[in-house]
Structure formats: structure tokens, C-alpha cells
Amino acid sequence: MAISPLHLYPSSPEAQMAFRRIADNLYSGIASLLLPAILLYLSFYALAKRQTKLFEVLSLLACAGFIASSCLVILECNVIRSLQLFAVAIGVMKALDMFARRHNPPIYAYNPRPSYAILALLYMTELRYESFTPSHARRGPVPKPSPHKAKSESNHSTTRASQKSKSWQPQFSERTNFVLHSLAFAILQAFFPQSNPTVAALEVLLAIYIIWEFLQLILRYHNSSPLFGPLWTATSLSTFWSKTWHSAFASPCRSLAYEPLRFNLPTRYGVPVSIARAIGVIASFCLMGFFHAYGLKPLMPFDALARIYAFFFLNGVGCVIEDAIWGRKAHWGKTILAWAFELTIASWTVEGMSVPKGLKDIHWAGVCDIGKA
């Protein structure tokens, strides 16, 4: 069924009222986040100047401010309330991530080195710290070495580093893939049954890709590596989550979940490294499950939130089992099982979510009432 542009245009009085409410709530939400955001920036400014004690105080105040803002400012529009909670979760995770790494923060990788004010801004706005080293960005060119490192390396090593940098260059166009994934989403909307949970799961996957990639293409820095790889190139669960899907929150997952378990369990409790690594991987997925469930709480009932959390938990377990069976070896059976597993649990998850049955079923007048009984 074709989607009429008139259907999507908010021309009715009810829809216009809903959009005014969205605007009002968006203004209130931004205002509620302003003070903790300033505290977060000031904490990163202190960290850039290596004033660790001041950073610790300001970062904890920023965390408390984000949490207080979500408790004191309860927005009426559930969609904007969800965005507010996601912003709170991101702010808290970034503060705690840097708090965990405060004695060994990321080092700026390019020359000339910017001012402390710009460094603090980069700490705050780069989700993957792409201007720094080490960086958790999985794709893109390797940062240029700093002069003191370059002097200590031989010409042979420099040549090899240059060759490695070239090999890291993305072999696809982000804009081309954005168009291809948008086209795939449109085809699913136009020619496939929207009541089918697998179709809905693929559409949710593509919608997340399109929204994030659209923002990436507009807001990216000049040195930002691609946010996603082409979805159809995923050959396993591990490659899907580490190379194909976005790694925007890889840093807090590592510093807050994976590394504390991976390194403390063997040294303090004698847990085998392989088991500690597996527990750390599952814990990272659990952290992401909590992050998504917390942000989507205003939009979804408890059963749907439980399914979302289970989706991430099961992906973590799946990655661990996959690694135990195949390791990093490529195999056609591994690819088939990975896609079958991913589509099965994604379809089950979407079945419990109150998502519209296609764009044609979106009613703008009720957009602020999503999730209400």
C-alpha cells in the first residue's frame, strides 16, 4: 500500500497541537539537561588539564545532576521523555567511563594539539573518542603518529604503518550505503506484509541504521570513521557487533563492564581468563540492554522492556558460544546460524513491542501517547 504524503503531513488541529507539545517538551528537556551538561564539560576540561581531583568531583556532580534532572523534570510527551532519558544515560555513562579511565585518559592523536577547551569539547561530543588514541572506533584510517613516536621509529616501521593505514581505509561509501539501506527500508515498507515480525525486525534494524547514519553524515568530524559497515557483510554475531553495527558505546562497555570483570576475576578470584572474558562480554551486552530499556521505559510496557533486555543478553551469550565453537575462523555455517539466530530473537523482541505496522499507521496526533494504555 502506497503512503500518501498528505497522511504524513501534520495538517489536522490535533496533529498540530501534538507537535506544539513536542516543541514545548523538547525545550523543557533541553533546559533540564543544561546544568549537568555544563558540569560534564567542566569536568572534561579539568581532565584535559590533568587536574584529576577536580575532575573526580565535577564528574560525580554531573552524574548526580543528570539523574536529578530526570527525576525532577517529568516530561508529558513520552517520545521526548524517552529522548531525555537516553541523554541522561549517555551523560552518566560518559562521565563514569572517563572516571574509570581518569588516570590514563585518551591522548589526542593529531598535530597541532588543540586548546584545553577544544579537547574537553571533543571528550564530550565524540562517542568513540575518534580524535584520540587509543580509540574504540573499529573502522577508518589509523591516526597519524605524533612526532616523538615518529622519531623513534625506523623508516621501515613507518612504511609498514603507512601501509597498514591504507589497509584500514573503508572500502565503501557511507553515502552510497545510506541510500542503499534507505531503499531496502522503502522496499520492505511497500512490498512486504507489515504484520510479519521478521519484516518488522528488519525494518527496525534499518530504521536505526538510517537515523544514526543520517545524524553521522550531518554532525561528523572531518576525521570520523564510518559509523556502520554494510549490514549484509556481517558474517557472524561477533563481526556484526564489532565491525558492522555502530560502536558508539564501545568505550563505556569496555571500561565499566568488560575490563573490570576480564582483569579482576582472574587476578583476585582465580577465574580462568577464558571464562572471565566470556563473563565480561555478556556483562557488556547486559549494560547495553539496561541502557536501551531505561531510555525506552516511557514508550514500552514492562514485557517489551524485558524482551529488549533479553535481546542484548542473548546476543552476548550467542557471541560467547560462537567464539567457543569457531573462534575467529570464517565458515558458511557460522554465517547462516548467526543470521538465523539474530533474526529469530529480533522477531521475538519486536512481537512484544508496540511499534506501528508500517509508516502508514503512524498517527501524528497520538505520537505523545505512545505506550499509554
Same domain, 226 and 364: yes
- State pLDDT tens for residues 8-47: 445 566 667 777 888 899 999 999 999 999 999 999 999 9
pLDDT at res. 110: 87
Mean per-residue pLDDT, 227-240: 91
CA dist., res. 252 & res. 318, Å (int): 21
Last residue in a domain, options 122, 137, 152: 137
Judged by average pLDDT, the poorest of 99-108, 168-177, 252-261, 328-337 is 168-177
Same domain, 120 and 267: no
- State pLDDT tens for residues 120-153: 999 999 988 888 887 766 554 334 444 444 444 3
| Domain of residue 111, residue span | 13-137
pTM, to two decimals: 0.84
Assigned domain for 274 exists? yes
Mean per-residue pLDDT, 219-243: 88
C-alpha grid cell for residue 264?
579482576
- Which residue has 547486559 as its cell numbers? 286
Same domain, 180 and 123: no
**Does residue 134 have a cis bond before it (omega within 30 degrees)?**
yes
Assigned domain for 22 exists? yes
Mean per-residue pLDDT, 246-253: 91
Kindly report the average pLDDT of the chain as a whole number. Answer: 85
pLDDT at res. 137: 65
Answer whether residue 158 shows pLDDT above 60. Answer: no
pLDDT at res. 98: 96
pLDDT confidence band for 359 (50 / 70 / 90): low
DSSP assignment of 170-221 equals: -SS-HHHHHHHHHHHHHHHHHHS-TT-HHHHHHHHHHHHHHHHHHHHHHH--
pLDDT at res. 142: 39
Assigned domain for 58 exists? yes
Long-range pairs of 333-342 with CB within 8 A, sequence gap ≥ 24: 334/235, 334/236, 335/234, 335/235, 335/236, 338/234, 338/235, 338/236, 338/237, 338/240, 339/234, 341/237, 342/237, 342/240, 342/315
Assigned domain for 35 exists? yes
Q: Are 101 and 30 in contact (CB under 8 A)?
A: no
pLDDT at res. 64: 97
pLDDT confidence band for 311 (50 / 70 / 90): very high
Reference 297, options 89, 81, 73, 87; nearest CA is 81
- State pLDDT tens for residues 56-91: 999 999 999 999 999 999 998 888 999 999 999 999
C-alpha grid cell for residue 108?
589526542
Looking at the DSSP bridge assignments, the partners of residue 284 are none
Same domain, 110 and 213: no
pLDDT at res. 365: 59
Assigned domain for 255 exists? yes
pLDDT at res. 203: 93
Quote the number of domains for the chain: 2
User: Buried b vs exposed e over 316-343: b needs ≥16 C-beta within 10 Å?
Assistant: bebbbebbeebeeeeeeebeebbbebbe
Same domain, 202 and 91: no
pLDDT at res. 291: 97
Same domain, 177 and 275: yes
Mean per-residue pLDDT, 210-239: 89
Q: What is the percentage of the chain residues whose pLDDT exceeds 70?
A: 82
Answer whether residue 245 shows pLDDT above 70. Answer: yes
Count Cβ atoms below 10 Å from residue 250 Cβ, excluding itself. Answer: 21
